[in-house]
Amino acid sequence: MILTDSHLHSDFSGDSRAPMEQMIQRGIALGLRTMCFTEHMDKDIVTDGLSFEVDMEAYRKGFGALKEKYQNEIELLFGIEVGIEPRLRGFLEEFVRAYEFDFVIGSSHIVDGIDPYYPVYYEGRTEEEAYRRYFESVLENLDAFADVDVYGHLDYVVRYGPNKNRYFSYEKYRDVIDPILEVLIGRGIGLEINSGGYKRGLGITNPCPEIIRAYRRMGGSLVTVGSDAHAPEQIADEFGRVREILLDCGFDCYAVFRERKPEFIPL
């Protein structure tokens, strides 16, 4: 059983309405041992009137009070999901050091100024071109900023393409995915296994099992598991299936980060 969820949002993130305390109570009811909150920090990003920049003072205070209140019931960890873009290099270098984070997820949410969540990202190019550009930009992001513990939902773009993951495969994009995996492994950055793909209609994790298997084959050994829940009912979603996938891909443990150091837990 995987009893740690390392990718969680609450209403400190612009796209969640769930109070953190409700998230925690659900985690306790599910029997989780550890929950790591990873609120959004996408600097200067406002979409549909929602800011994706967390209010750090409010987050720190709110989290701190709940961590103390629930200390005998569940372990709560203080994380962040930073949206990486090359323009943010200087900001992110300072930001991740300015707070005592347990865990830092680096994610690509914006490519050339556009979130692939929006149809405009696919206009004027084929789905394959749009997906390729996404993976190329991940490599550019890692070149700009790599002080992260894991890379989040590596194939995020397939959640939102016109055909989602119907025509997507690791093999088809291997030439742009393998260089990313090489950088992750070379720099000791882990691969986040994100079960949010299930509830978004992919029927599978982000990244897909073929990418997880490739990461393992190339020598990668550091994975974390998160649901990317934005509401209580999504917490630890499909973790049973994630465990099966990881075992099948050759992993025997997953990691939990505290003070930015991994502890490996048998699957």
Contact by Cβ (8 Å): 195, 226 = yes
Beta-bridge partner residues of 133: none
Nearer of residues 228 and 238 to Zn ion, judged by Cβ:
228
Minimal distance in Å, beta carbon 207 to Zn ion? 13
Minimal distance in Å, beta carbon 218 to Zn ion? 24
Minimal distance in Å, beta carbon 134 to Zn ion? 13
Please identify which residue in the block is written with the tokens 């306790």.
28
Q: What do you get for the CA distance between the two ends of the chain, in Å? A: 7
5, containing H or E segment: strand 4-8
Nearer of residues 43 and 174 to Zn ion, judged by Cβ:
43
Is the bond leading into 119 cis (omega within 30 degrees of zero)? Answer: no
Minimal distance in Å, beta carbon 228 to Zn ion? 4
Minimal distance in Å, beta carbon 214 to Zn ion? 21
**What is the contact surface with Zn ion in residues (CB under 5 A)?**
81, 107, 228
Nearer of residues 111 and 221 to Zn ion, judged by Cβ:
111
Nearer of residues 106 and 220 to Zn ion, judged by Cβ:
106
Nearer of residues 5 and 186 to Zn ion, judged by Cβ:
5
Q: How far is 102 from 96, CA to CA, in rounded Å?
A: 10
Question: What is the DSSP code (8-state) at residue 114?
Answer: B
Residue 138 phi/psi, 5-degree rounding, is: -60, -45
